[in-house]
């Protein structure tokens, strides 16, 4: 199958560092023109010397490898900036083919200590940021499909997290945002398939600036060899999902890290109970549900904790 992205154009958000940077470089190596988005314009450091914006550093790295790239410094949670991001791709390279949503922040705290601002900021950057870019990219693809009378080439790769899958106790805002991104992805997979667009979501585990306080101790970087949590373990999957080879992959959720890719399936229906008459009563539900849960392990609920133990070679 064909994994070349020659002639395609991709937008990658949060691509100044970490995962987004690795993904942007991967797409460029596969031949794509890349619009590198990350918040922050060029400025001055403490000594007054000029300092490059994060996005500019990634663009420079792509250009140094012979690729094609342009920077965008806007906030993707701002609808105007998200629209300008898509327009930049179309104006510079003729059209948009691939959208990789990666931008995010952390504001970790237990739910009973979390402020409304800590909740809102994470939901805004992650969930609203994914929506805003997707909204304008989807409109671009729909309009092109209607104009041509045929499906176009479109790829959306969104970024969720195992924090949603397993229910991270100290990240209620992050887990909620990442769960929302899965719902957004599945909705887009259904709505946009008719236009030739696939929509998939990854749950990457990687050592980045955002997670540097998470992966410490036994999970610290090794002194020798490739770090199992290096972002470079994640970017090949993004390259594949963006490619023609993944044309039949739609509405899927992947866990990826350290040389491993796991495909998560649909949640199973564990049991079904019917009311004896038209309506349940609380006592009837007690008689049905309480024995069921009495036989189950405490804490064995919807969250998939087993995913946290997945690793390469097992």
Give the catalytic positions in this structure.
Answer: 161, 174, 178
Show the CA angle centred on residue 76, arms to residues 16 and 176, nearest 5°. Answer: 100
């Amino acid at each position: 199958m064909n994994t070349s992205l020659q002639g395609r154009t991709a937008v990658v958000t949060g691509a100044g560092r970490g995962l987004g940077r690795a993904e942007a470089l991967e797409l460029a190596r596969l031949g794509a023109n890349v619009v590198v988005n990350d918040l922050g314009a060029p400025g001055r450091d403490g000594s007054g010397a000029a300092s490059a914006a994060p996005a500019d550093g990634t663009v420079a790295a792509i250009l140094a490898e012979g690729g094609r790239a342009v920077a965008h410094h806007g906030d993707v949670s701002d609808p105007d900036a998200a629209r300008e991001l898509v327009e930049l791709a179309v104006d510079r390279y003729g059209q948009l083919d691939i959208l990789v949503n990666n931008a995010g922040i952390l504001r970790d705290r237990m739910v009973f200590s979390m402020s409304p601002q800590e909740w809102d900021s994470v939901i805004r950057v992650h969930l609203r940021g994914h929506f805003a870019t997707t909204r304008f990219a989807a409109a671009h693809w729909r309009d092109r499909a209607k104009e041509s009378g045929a499906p176009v080439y479109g790829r959306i790769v969104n970024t969720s997290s195992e924090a949603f899958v397993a229910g991270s106790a100290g990240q209620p805002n992050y887990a909620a945002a990442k769960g929302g991104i899965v719902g957004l992805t599945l909705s887009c997979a259904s709505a946009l398939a008719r236009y030739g667009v696939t929509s998939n979501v990854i749950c990457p585990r990687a050592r980045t600036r955002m997670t540097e306080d998470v992966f410490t101790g036994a999970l610290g970087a090794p002194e020798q060899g490739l770090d199992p949590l290096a972002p470079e373990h994640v970017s090949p999957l993004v390259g594949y999902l963006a490619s023609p080879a993944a044309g039949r992959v739609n509405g899927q959720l992947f866990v990826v890290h350290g040389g491993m890719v796991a495909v998560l399936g649909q949640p199973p229906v564990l049991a079904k109970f019917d009311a004896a008459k038209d309506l349940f009563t609380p006592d009837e539900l007690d008689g049905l549900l309480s024995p069921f849960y009495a036989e189950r392990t405490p804490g064995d609920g919807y969250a998939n904790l087993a995913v946290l133990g997945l690793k390469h070679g097992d």
